[in-house]
Chains A and B, each alone.
Chain A
Amino acid sequence: MEKNKEFSDFNLPACAVEYIKLVVKKMKWRKSVRADVQAELIGHFEDAIRDCKTNEEKEKKAKELIENFGDAKLIANLARRAKKRCRPMWVKALIVTAQIIGIIILFIIIRSLPMYIGSPTISVNYAEWLNEKVRAGRDESLNAKPFYDKAISTFVEQPKWLQEIKTHWPGDFNEQQLGEFKIWYDKNKDSFEALRQGSAKPAYWNIYDTNEPNMLAVLEPMMKHLGGFRRIAQNIWWKVKYDIYNNDFNSATAGVIALIKLGQQMHGQGTLVEQLVGISIEAMGIGSIFENRNAVQWPEEKLREIQIQLEQYVNNPVITLDSEKAFMYDYIQQSFTDDGHGNGRILKKGIPIAFDNWQELVKDFFITGFPDRQQTIEKIESLYELSEQRFSKTLFELKNEPLDKPLEHSEKNPFLLATQVSLANKKLIELTWRLKTERDGQITTIAIVRYHKQTGKYPDSLEELLNKGFIKRIPFDAYKNGEMTYKKIGDSFTLYSFSNNFKDDSGDDTFGKWKDKGDTVFWPVKTK
């Protein structure tokens, strides 16, 4: 095509060639478009000088034309702009889209950049803070920890068949199993003794590693240690069963008390995971008393000892959220800058704690801007305040409240704050009230059995039990928001909580404990 030919193919004066080249060069546009414009201008000049006879005339005419055309840069700019408008719609749309994407990317980069600039200032060692909190100024000699550590380091793993067996009663073992069980029991005597000695101490508190870089790192090794607590608790639970089977109620009582106290010492302080393990261990201890076939043979004085142990912790908080707050504050410390006045800017690490969900993150990113350190602290404090308010209410009072609000907790939610706080709101409140109700139920059951052992009959009412000094207060059913349900039936009795459905199902224990159907029945006891 002619438009692609070189200038030498045309008979144009040098000034015209130079001018056209300059215009085309100044256009700074696509090569094909420049070639088009160049071809048109060459044609224009050629037409203009067509009638000139001599080179001088041609030169003169070309100069006139150049003057008429004007500034080459201006022509080039006007031509480029006009040519740009000639682009097809899809190209224009593509360009606009690319521009929008470019702007968004630029915005994201500009917005994100501060998150990557700066570093946190670590001014508080929260592990140290937590150590002081759990120790509460007590002397180290009062701590059960060395004994529990010994119990964990000396325990012998249960035989595999024992871990898998369905029955909870040694009377169901065959000869060989009983023999193996006895050997395992004897091997664990040191561990059992260490656990008993630990439970005789007034308190247990953990010592958190203050050299770890953050609270998350403090938690990691502790998780393994907690596995040891679970194992020694399971061991002593079997020991209690075996002692009851052998009618050794002295040893069984020591075991039950050790188990209950281990749990009681662990919850109400320390980290949340420790408290949860403590709750489950105390519940395990409570369940070990009557859930066996020799239950009625408990001597009255031994039952009284167990009852006293259970009553000791009735007024203590089951859960405290101090460690969780420390964990959050530490996380903020690690993920915000510090301006020296208690405030600071968010760093990348702070995303999981500053936002509850993706929508909030996107909204703050594009519209409102990120929360600063102070705002995040205020948010956490208000959420924990809400949690603590909820802890002060009974489950019955909370039954219509969505406990996982205002934050949604789900397995897929990557936001730490939502996961932690909503967990505190829902699961912990349920577990707390479950343990409290279970404890009240067991204290009352023990008291009723003791009453029967002393008088040969069951009390007509819980008031009678209270008035005769067998219990210190009327047991509370958090699922009923009132007195626990006691019924004297012929030569027996039933004691139950309304359980998760908050309804009286007449002591129906078909579905088991703490289910959405039926009641949680403390007596009569189902044996496994």
Chain B
Amino acid sequence: MKFERELLKGVAPVVVLEIMSRGRMYGYELSEAIETKSQKILTLGQGTLYPLLYNLEAQKLIKGEWETAESGRKRRYYSITSKGKERLETDKSQLADLFKSLKLVFGTSFSGV
């Protein structure tokens, strides 16, 4: 299932932060993780992934570091910062509230939460 771009745009940073809160990751690994964890429902465009990561880095919510992987290749690993964790908690709480409100509006027809 593909989401409208604008709908996904607001949620994408929370999703990235949430996945990254479980461990540091490099770009490709992250895109795979999003697909897997969301059972391919959330497919973040590959092209928007890196700009999104750079933006989160600019906001100091994640931190990128070049490291040598076991295979001997250098990769840029991203990990969530304490500021990122705080933001994640806030965003998650807001999302929960949003879903509650949506459920109230849509009633039983809104079964996503």
Contacts and interface: CB of A to CB of B under 8 A. Distances in A.
Interface residues of B, number: 23
B48 A78 contact: yes
B51 A40 contact: no
Nearest to A44: B28
B3 to A, nearest CB: 15
Contact of A75 (B28, B31, B47, B75): B47
Interface string A71-104: 1001100110111011000000000000000000
Interface string B12-34: 00000000000000111101000
A295 B50 CA distance: 107
Contacts of B26: 43, 47
Contacts of A74: 47
Interface stretch (A62-70, A301-309, A372-380): A62-70
A86 to B, nearest CB: 4
Contacts of A39: 74, 76
A68 B47 contact: yes
For the complex of A and B, 7 pairs with smallest distance between CB atoms: A82-B54, A85-B58, A78-B51, A47-B28, A2-B74, A69-B47, A70-B47
Given A43-B76, A44-B46, A79-B54, 13 more contacts: A2-B73, A2-B74, A3-B66, A43-B27, A43-B73, A44-B31, A47-B29, A75-B51, A78-B51, A79-B50, A82-B53, A85-B54, A85-B55
Nearest to A71: B47
Interface string B39-64: 00000011110111111011100000
A86 B78 CA distance: 14
Nearest to A33: B54
Given A43-B73, A43-B76, A75-B47, A48 B28 contact: yes
Most buried by B among A39, A43, A65, A69: A43
A273 to B, nearest CB: 69
B58 A82 contact: yes
Interface string B66-77: 100000011110
B66 A1 contact: yes
Interface of A: 1-3, 36-37, 39-41, 43-44, 46-48, 65, 68-71, 74-75, 78-79, 81-83, 85-86
Contacts of B73: 2, 43, 46
Nearest to B76: A40
A184 to B, nearest CB: 92
Interface of B: 26-29, 31, 45-48, 50-55, 57-59, 66, 73-76
Contacts of B76: 36, 39-40, 43
Nearest to B50: A79
B58 A79 contact: no
Contact of A82 (B47, B51, B66): B51
A60 to B, nearest CB: 16
B36 to A, nearest CB: 14
A47 B28 CA distance: 7
B60 to A, nearest CB: 9
A44 B76 CA distance: 10
Contacts of B48: 78
A36 B48 CA distance: 16
Nearest to B60: A86
Contacts of B74: 1-3, 39, 43
A227 B52 CA distance: 83
Interface of B is mostly: helix
Contacts of B59: 85
Interface of A is mostly: helix
A27 B15 CA distance: 26
Nearest to B55: A82
A68 B45 contact: yes
Contacts of B27: 40, 43-44
A47 to B, nearest CB: 4
B95 to A, nearest CB: 23
B51 A79 contact: yes
A350 B55 CA distance: 53
Nearest to A2: B74
A39 B69 CA distance: 14
A81 B54 CA distance: 9
B50 A41 contact: yes
A75 to B, nearest CB: 5
A36 B75 CA distance: 10
A61 to B, nearest CB: 12
B58 to A, nearest CB: 3
A274 to B, nearest CB: 74
B9 to A, nearest CB: 12
A1 to B, nearest CB: 6
A87 to B, nearest CB: 8
Contacts of A46: 73
26 contacts: A37-B50, A39-B76, A40-B50, A41-B50, A43-B27, A43-B75, A43-B76, A44-B46, A46-B73, A47-B28, A48-B28, A68-B45, A69-B45, A69-B46, A75-B51, A78-B47, A78-B48, A78-B51, A79-B51, A82-B50, A82-B51, A82-B54, A82-B55, A83-B58, A85-B59, A86-B58
A524 B47 CA distance: 106
B10 to A, nearest CB: 16
Contacts of A69: 45-47
Given A1-B66, A2-B73, A43 B28 contact: yes
Most buried by A among B45, B50, B58, B74: B50
B14 to A, nearest CB: 17
B51 A86 contact: no
Nearest to B73: A2
A85 B58 CA distance: 5
Nearest to B29: A47
